[in-house]
Amino acid sequence: MGYIPNTDDDRRRMLEKIGVSSFTDLLAPIPENLRNATPLDLPQPLSELELLNEIEGLSRKNAGTMAIFAGGGVYDHFIPSAVNQIVSRPEFATAYTPYQAEVAQGTLQVIYEFQTHMCRLTGMDVANASMYDGASAAAEAARLSMAKTRRGKIVMSDTVSPLYREVMKTYLFGLETDLVTVPHRNGLTDTERLADIVDENTACVILAQPNFFGLIEEVEAVGELVHRVGGHLILAVDPISAVVLKTPAAYGADIAVGEGQPLGIPLNFGGPLLGFFAVKKELVRLLPGRLVARTVDTENNPGFVLTLQTREQHIRRDKATSNICTSQALCATTATVYLSLMGRKGLKRVALLSMDKTHRLAEKLCTIDGFTPYFNGPYVREVAIKAPVPVKPLIETLMRDKAVLPGVNLGRFYEGMDDGLLIAATEKRTEAEIDALVSAVKEYASHAVLSKV
């Protein structure tokens, strides 16, 4: 157990030891306008034993098994037991970044196989060794496009995940960039408005397929528009839906990104996640992160090598394409194992079951008075439902009383959509769970309406 300075004298002695008079002296390089002037409301330090007791007490407050009908980027899919069994092996669980790359042949092979899976899934020429998450992958894609085109205008549809858009703002903060958000019309990107915005200064247009509402976008038309002015089309895709839709390459995308969590990674309070990133061959030199390739040695034996690592930590230094410093390798290994076990047929089965159950759930919910589809149009993966009552208290009540998470509150992300519920039913959801959700929503809605009378 490490030493914890519990008294003012303890802290004073520690500061004297490192040659400063106060903690604020350590903050001198940070401009005052960027510092938080309000002290953080933090509890007193705890010993290891006290901390463990505190955490165990908090864990006992957790609900038991919950039926999850929420999506919005992360999903509750079934994970075969073999996935965890394989990735828990020490050669996977404890392996780290292959700085002495060619010695770590096993690690390099797994990365190579992950890249292969992502290329097959997206139809693109080259995929990198994964990224933090889908949101940061999208932001890195925008930076790649800016570097290639030497332009500073990024056009992004507001039907792309709001979380992606927030990360994009953070990534581009401080750069000479014009980030323009195109509003949706009836749940789809307003292509007429987009046509007015895209010009010769546009580096890229970023779309999602399916979009955040689950709807199918007119990607080809947008691709033609941005390619006409010499920009790139960046497509954010869901890896499960991608199996039943056209590949990003078939849509004409120059860069494909997405969130790999649905590929065997469990839900854990927001993480860990996994970003995948794939490009056309002509963009490979600007690819962030690292790239593994297969080769042969002087005796013609096959082997794996790091062929491209354009990070600032390596020889590129100030010419680096990115400061991404991890490849989420264990999560990428998990996705590789999951995809290898499921195969093309198994993955397609998951996609079709999820789509079918989401459609059936939506149909049943819309038999309740006042519940209707929020938008018209074909959808996969998830769908927005318009409710006759605010959905935030509905979600909170069903989680507390029925142990079910009925969906995502769209009002959290879109102004004026407090009555919008985004639902997704994966292959894990049973008919009994679907019927129980519909019954619980009907009961809640009837009480809420009566209370207004």
What are the tens digits of pLDDT across the range 218-231? 999 999 999 999 99
Query: Which amino acid would we find at residue 396?
Result: E
Higher-pLDDT residue of 26 and 77 is 77
With bands split at pLDDT 50, 70 and 90, how would you rate the model's confidence at 453? very low
| Average confidence (pLDDT) over 246-252 | 96
Buried b (16+ CB within 10 A) or exposed e, 243-257: bebbbbbebbbbbbb
Residue 283, pLDDT score: 95
Residue 405, pLDDT score: 95
Distance CA 353, CA 72 (A): 18
DSSP 215: B
Residue 375, pLDDT score: 96
210: preceding bond cis by omega (within 30 degrees) = yes
Q: Is 326's pLDDT higher than 90?
A: no
CATH H-level superfamily of 67-75+344-452: Aspartate Aminotransferase, domain 1 (3.90.1150.10)
Tell me which CATH code domain 81-338 carries: 3.40.640.10
Q: Is 302's pLDDT higher than 80?
A: yes
Strands (DSSP E) found in 149-300: 153-157, 178-182, 184-185, 188-189, 202-209, 232-237, 255-259, 275-279, 290-296
Backbone angles phi and psi of 303, in degrees to 5: -160, 170
User: What are 352-397's pLDDT values in tens digits?
Assistant: 999 999 999 999 999 999 999 999 999 999 999 999 999 999 999 9
Residue 59, pLDDT score: 86
Cβ count within 10 A of residue 319: 8
- C-alpha angle 276-101-126 in degrees, rounded to nearest 5: 30
Task: Collect all residues with Cβ–Cβ distance below 8 Å to 111 and sequence separation of at least 6.
Answer: 129, 130, 290, 292, 304, 327, 329, 332
Residue 368, pLDDT score: 96
Portions of the chain given CATH number 3.40.640.10: 81-338
- β-pairing, 153-157 with 404-405? unpaired
Least confident of 18-27, 198-207, 304-313, 408-417: 304-313
User: What are 395-414's pLDDT values in tens digits?
Assistant: 999 999 999 999 999 999 99
**Taking all residues of the chain, what is their mean pLDDT, rounded to a whole number?**
90
Distance CA 198, CA 390 (A): 36
Q: Is 1's pLDDT higher than 50?
A: no
Portions of the chain given CATH number 3.90.1150.10: 67-75+344-452
| Average confidence (pLDDT) over 135-159 | 96
Q: Is 96's pLDDT higher than 80?
A: no
Grouping H, G, I as helix, E, B as strand and the rest as coil, residue 409 is strand
With bands split at pLDDT 50, 70 and 90, how would you rate the model's confidence at 452? low
- Are 330 and 87 in contact, with CB atoms under 8 Å apart? yes
Alpha-carbon torsion angle 427, 433, 434, 439, nearest 10: -170
Q: Is 107's pLDDT higher than 70?
A: yes
Residue 275, pLDDT score: 95
Distance CA 407, CA 390 (A): 13
Provide the percentage of residues in the chain whose pLDDT is more than 70.
Answer: 92
- Are 255 and 271 in contact, with CB atoms under 8 Å apart? no
